């Protein structure tokens, strides 16, 4: 999607990026392209980034910091929708999927005890 060099912190080699599902999704579940290069460039550096992404993450960062100061920790839930049935390009095509997926980036994004508590609930 991008011809110029991306920042050093950008993950450009993950399986999700290779599949078109990186930070800015290029395709939907069935493989249909949803975002052209020009739209992605506008999101990355344009008004949308300044008007929405940056202010949202700045406010979120402040909330997390204030919560950590007050309680000594903060639990941030990152929730988003996922298809309830496997799509035509998926190994589980047509099969129902679970209602919730607990992810902790292989133990790097959440203390295991928190994930275990959520799993038991």
- 40-75: pLDDT as tens digits: 666 666 555 677 778 888 999 999 999 999 999 999
- What is the reported pTM? 0.55
Instruction: Quote the DSSP letter at residue 7.
Output: P
Any idea which residue has 């999700």 for tokens?
A: 16
Whether residue 7 has pLDDT greater than 60: yes
Tell which wins on pLDDT, 119 or 22. Answer: 119
Give the total number of structural domains in the chain: 2
Give buried/exposed letters for 9-26 (b at 16+ CB in 10 A, else e): eeeeeeeeeeebebeeeb
Whether residue 27 has pLDDT greater than 60: yes
Judge if 32 and 8 occupy the same domain: yes
Judge if 36 and 62 occupy the same domain: yes
Phi, then psi, of 106 in degrees rounded to 5: 55, 40
113 vs 119: CA distance, rounded Å: 10
SS3 category, 29: coil
Judge if 47 and 6 occupy the same domain: yes
Q: Which structural domain, as residue segments, surrounds residue 24?
A: 1-74
Summarize the confidence of residues 86-110 as an average pLDDT: 86
Judge if 85 and 55 occupy the same domain: no
């Amino acid at each position: 999607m991008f011809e110029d060099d991306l920042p050093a912190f950008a993950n450009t080699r993950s399986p999700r990026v290779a599949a078109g599902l990186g930070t800015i999704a290029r395709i939907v579940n069935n493989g249909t392209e949803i975002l052209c290069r020009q739209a992605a460039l506008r999101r990355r550096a344009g008004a949308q980034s300044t008007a929405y992404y940056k202010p949202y993450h700045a406010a979120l960062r402040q909330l997390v910091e204030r919560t950590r100061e007050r309680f000594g920790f903060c639990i941030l839930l990152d929730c988003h929708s996922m298809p309830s049935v496997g799509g035509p390009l998926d190994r589980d095509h047509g099969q129902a999927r679970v209602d919730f997926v607990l992810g902790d980036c292989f133990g790097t994004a959440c203390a295991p005890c928190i994930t275990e508590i959520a799993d038991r609930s």
